[in-house]
Structure 1
Amino acid sequence: MTPLADRLGLTLPIIQAPMAGTSTPAMAAAVSNAGGLGSMGLGAVGAQAAREMIEAARGATNRAFNVNLFCHRPAVRDAAREAGWIDRLRPHFAAYGAEPPARLEEIYRSFAEDDAMLAMLLDTRPAIVSFHFGLPGADRIAALHDAGIILFASATSLAEARAIAAAGIEAVVAQGYEAGGHRGIFDPDGPDERLGTMALTRLLVRSLDRPVIAAGAIMDGAGIAAALTLGAQAAQLGTAFVGCPESAADQGYRAALATAERTVMTRAISGRPARSIVNRFTAIDPDPAEVAPYPVAYDAGKALNAAAKAKGETGYGAQWAGQAVPLARSMPAAELVELLGEEMRAALAAR
């Protein structure tokens, strides 16, 4: 075991990634009950729905779990750019007999300015709160710490990790470029070193004075063992849990997961770099400057997916997955955690 796992009361250094829209209270509870750390993504819901998710998880486990918030910069609205993006997608809507939205909305609120979400967290006091896309203000971090909450944050580079450490966050999630879903880079329009999970993990372990959690394309116990050998104190797995029955993934997503061989980084779906299974949406492949900003573009993406699904086409979904997606296995979350633990122990013993 590792010091971080001991602090969190885990029997396995395995964290189920907090996949917004895919993770559920049932999944988080199952993983935590099996000895790992279950997680829920709250970035796509409001404070009341988030409260209900926390209460549901607590009704199914008495162990710690993690809740995740998005800390992106609020969108800078550009009517001309947004109208251009609607027009770019119009032929895709037309193919399914639908019209795109007349205008787009900023569908997700950043935790950096969401006072209702902060108040809810201070009231419910989940054991762990984690941040993606950046950090909230020092006042919010201090308030969460004062409530006895342990904090994690994602980093895609050493510079981001140092900012996280300087903010007093207890653990850094090293998100490699291989990872599925939204890239946690603080500035999506800035330079991206595109560091892989293992390189980034080792770099952060050598450079920081706090626990590092490896994340990105880790699908089995051998991958967990490799991350631990490099000095990570836990491994975070997302794609590995998408196929579990406790997941909220729809049938189109599950079918794509079962046959996927390739993934690609795209902005087309949400307006922010994210790794998806190759599908009809990723094939659009626009110039980044053409896409409406996150999360405004996601309003169009969700509408297009709904229009296509209504006609039986599931290839416009946000089918997030990491580069090791061919290794995905579908089984109940608790069984997967148990299997991952067995594989991890075998891999470590073989070294």
Structure 2
Amino acid sequence: MFNFSRLEVPIIQAPMAGGINNPKLASAVANYGGVGSFGFAYSMPQKISEDLVATRALTKGPINANFFVFSVVDLPSQAIQAQATEALRALPFEGDYSLAIPQSPFYPDIEEQLNPVWEHCPEIVTFHFGIPPLRAIEKAHSLGIVVGITATNVQEAQMIEKAGADFIVAQGIEAGGHRGMFNPDGADEKLTAIDLTKKLVQHCSIPIVCAGAIMDGADIANALKAGAVAAQLGTAFLCCDESSASPAHKDYLLSQHGRGSVFTRGFSGRLARGIENEFIRLMQDKATLPFPLQNTMTASLRQLAAKMNNGEFQSLWAGQEYAKTRNLSAKDLMLALKKEFLVAMR
């Protein structure tokens, strides 16, 4: 069974849903001492299987398959649907895209998504937004697969440990992408990654992986000094040559540092941190559908914006410290992170 102590560099390349992760990126990270990941939140079983097979052909290193734990949602009232649709129609963005509100189903079946995992057995499977069915954790363990789940506070972490997971990803408020709170409408303690890691180390007996604003080797060292066994880095890998992030996404990460990263529900219906752009500004305080209905409704708009290389209407997920993103190959970034980490740990 996988053990973090065997990693050459204590890094998990964060799973990033929406196609940013790919076999070349994940395998490069794994080949140079870390854990390569996939964000399979919206992926169908065939694609999951293809990516796992392709990645295993490129590396013998550890691979992580990540999934969202979707909650059942009901369609909101006709009035809310109309308000949410009108908010998007009012955007100054022209093109051929749909604003159709999905009726059913709204999200993939996690049991079906996991079948390729049981077949191909990556070293790690992780979950975001909550605890998966306990039978999934038991199945993973029966196959020697390690299970990790995201927590944003002590209460969530204790629930994760009680469920039988092997480690906890401590997601700080600085982290890019979707906030992993179990209850998207609950109170958020907004703990930094380091503060949350320290709390979880005190209250939990299973290993902690620190996630949020970790961009260089010194940040990784600080995470381990806070008690983590490894650090999870997402934004740091977005501008790697192998990353499938859009050209506009990479450009904004490297050149639009004055914007900062902020939280929005506008793209998906759940809080997520990304680089501030026109869409986020215009959707502030506007009606949105619950996740993942809003995500489905904005999908064609985001896809068209990507084709047009228009960064103002894409979800440019990025952590608080995205200004430190480097334009390197995954190999060179891993080598730089390792060197920086070793210096910082002396």
**Length-normalised TM-score, structure 2:** 0.94
Whether 2:324 is the aligned partner of 1:327: answer yes
Whether 2:305 is the aligned partner of 1:305: answer no
> Shift in Å at residue 267 of structure 1?
0.5
User: Among residues 341, 344, 348, which one is paired with 2:345 in the alignment?
Assistant: 348
> Shift in Å at residue 24 of structure 1?
1.0
What pairs up with 1:105-144 in 2 under 5 angstroms?
109=107, 113-144=109-140
What pairs up with 1:263-282 in 2 under 5 angstroms?
263-282=261-280
| 8 Å CA contact 1:18, 1:67 repeated in 2 | yes
List per-residue Cα deviations over 1:55-102 (Å, max 9, x = no partner).
01101001211110111213322252233211111022x641446423
Q: Partners in 2 of 1:96 and 1:311 — Cα distance?
A: 11
What pairs up with 1:68-217 in 2 under 5 angstroms?
68-80=66-78, 81-92=80-91, 95-98=93-96, 100-104=98-102, 109=107, 113-217=109-213
Whether 2:246 is the aligned partner of 1:250: answer yes
Q: Partners in 1 of 2:30 and 2:336 — Cα distance?
A: 14
| 8 Å CA contact 1:44, 1:108 repeated in 2 | no
Which amino acid is 1:85 matched to? A
Q: Secondary structure at the match of 1:164?
A: helix
User: Unmatched 5+ residue regions in structure 1?
Assistant: none
| 8 Å CA contact 2:201, 2:208 repeated in 1 | yes
Q: Partners in 2 of 1:139 and 1:97 — Cα distance?
A: 45
| 8 Å CA contact 2:248, 2:309 repeated in 1 | no
Distance 1:245 1:204, change over 3 A: same
Q: Secondary structure at the match of 1:60?
A: coil
> Shift in Å at residue 327 of structure 1?
0.6
Q: Secondary structure at the match of 1:315?
A: helix
| 8 Å CA contact 1:83, 1:103 repeated in 2 | no
Alignment correspondent of 1:11: 8
List per-residue Cα deviations over 1:256-292 (Å, max 9, x = no partner).
111232000110011110000011121124337x210
> Shift in Å at residue 300 of structure 1?
2.5
What pairs up with 1:207-246 in 2 under 5 angstroms?
207-246=203-242
Q: Secondary structure at the match of 1:320?
A: coil
Alignment correspondent of 1:338: 335
Which amino acid is 2:209 matched to? I
- Structure 1 stretch displaced more, 149-158 or 113-122: 113-122
Q: Partners in 2 of 1:107 and 1:96 — Cα distance?
A: 28
Whether 2:72 is the aligned partner of 1:64: answer no
Distance 1:99 1:35, change over 3 A: closer
Q: Partners in 2 of 1:10 and 1:309 — Cα distance?
A: 36
Q: Partners in 1 of 2:274 and 2:3 — Cα distance?
A: 30
Which amino acid is 2:127 matched to? F
| 8 Å CA contact 1:267, 1:291 repeated in 2 | yes
List per-residue Cα deviations over 1:199-240 (Å, max 9, x = no partner).
001001111111100000100011001111111110000000
| 8 Å CA contact 1:170, 1:210 repeated in 2 | yes
Which amino acid is 2:74 matched to? V
- Structure 1 stretch displaced more, 259-268 or 74-83: 74-83
| 8 Å CA contact 2:21, 2:38 repeated in 1 | yes
- Structure 1 stretch displaced more, 21-30 or 278-287: 278-287
Coordinate RMSD, CA, aligned: 1.8
Which amino acid is 1:35 matched to? G
User: Among residues 34, 46, 49, which one is paired with 1:48 in the alignment?
Assistant: 46
> Shift in Å at residue 145 of structure 1?
1.3
Q: Secondary structure at the match of 1:200?
A: helix
Q: Partners in 2 of 1:136 and 1:233 — Cα distance?
A: 23
| 8 Å CA contact 2:197, 2:226 repeated in 1 | yes
> Shift in Å at residue 104 of structure 1?
3.3
Q: Secondary structure at the match of 2:331?
A: helix
Q: Secondary structure at the match of 2:242?
A: coil
- Structure 1 stretch displaced more, 101-110 or 324-333: 101-110
Distance 1:102 1:5, change over 3 A: closer
| 8 Å CA contact 2:176, 2:273 repeated in 1 | yes
